[in-house]
């Protein structure tokens, strides 16, 4: 069942948006919550919002986050963030991009550039040289020390998951 955000949920999300420099971007967006095992936050057009509130389709809009104790960024949300923010990003080489898409972690020597605004153990966007979000990672070091030897960003989720996931289609 889809519903409007509560005041508390909106406050949590606004803090999250502000942390990423996207408060203004999401200020006027249509965001709805889909209740289930986990509260999922979707961004929708006006038409999709009306449909979701009236008829309760299984999916409507773009899934941005999961809301538990804190906000967990979804892969589609990461794509929107990568296009609209300049915070908490690392850019990797082409070879590292392929490895990330296979679920591998990021080595320090594979990082071409990065922003200087993240701490150790913080969520960052992993992007390719074109600025496309290819994954979400957790840093092992502060941004000042991120280009060390060995693994520096742990892969949490990546776009290759869609290809690796085994699904059984019945015809």
Which H or E run contains 25? helix 23-26
Q: pTM, whole model, 2 decimals? A: 0.85
**Cα–Cα distance, 166 to 15 (Å, whole number):** 36
pLDDT attached to residue 168: 44
Question: How far is residue 38's CA from residue 167's CA, in Å, rounded to a whole number?
Answer: 22
Please name which of 66, 92, 89, 102 lies closest in space to residue 136, comparing C-alpha atoms. Answer: 89
Greater pLDDT, 55 or 106: 106
pLDDT in tens, 104-134: 999 999 999 999 989 999 999 999 999 999 9
Say which DSSP state 91 is in: E
The band of 169, judged by pLDDT with boundaries at 50, 70 and 90, is very low
Query: What is the tens place of the pLDDT at every residue in 1-28?
Result: 899 999 999 999 999 999 999 999 999 8
Query: What does the block give as tokens for 153?
Result: 């960003």
């Amino acid at each position: 069942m889809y519903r409007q955000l509560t005041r508390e949920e909106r406050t949590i999300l606004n803090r999250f948006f502000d942390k990423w420099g996207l408060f203004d971007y999401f200020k006027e967006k249509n965001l709805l919550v889909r209740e289930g095992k986990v509260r999922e936050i979707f961004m929708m057009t006006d038409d999709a919002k009306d449909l979701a509130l009236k008829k309760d389709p299984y999916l409507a809009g773009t899934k941005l986050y999961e809301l538990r104790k804190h906000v967990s960024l979804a892969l589609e949300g990461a794509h929107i963030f990568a296009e609209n923010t300049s915070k908490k990003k690392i850019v990797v080489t082409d070879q590292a991009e392929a490895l990330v898409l296979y679920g591998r972690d990021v080595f320090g020597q594979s990082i071409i550039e990065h922003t200087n605004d993240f701490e150790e153990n913080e969520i960052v966007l992993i992007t390719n040289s074109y600025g496309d979000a290819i994954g979400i990672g957790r840093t092992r070091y502060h941004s000042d020390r991120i280009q060390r030897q060995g693994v520096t960003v742990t892969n949490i989720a990546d776009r290759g998951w869609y290809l690796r996931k085994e699904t059984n289609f019945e015809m």
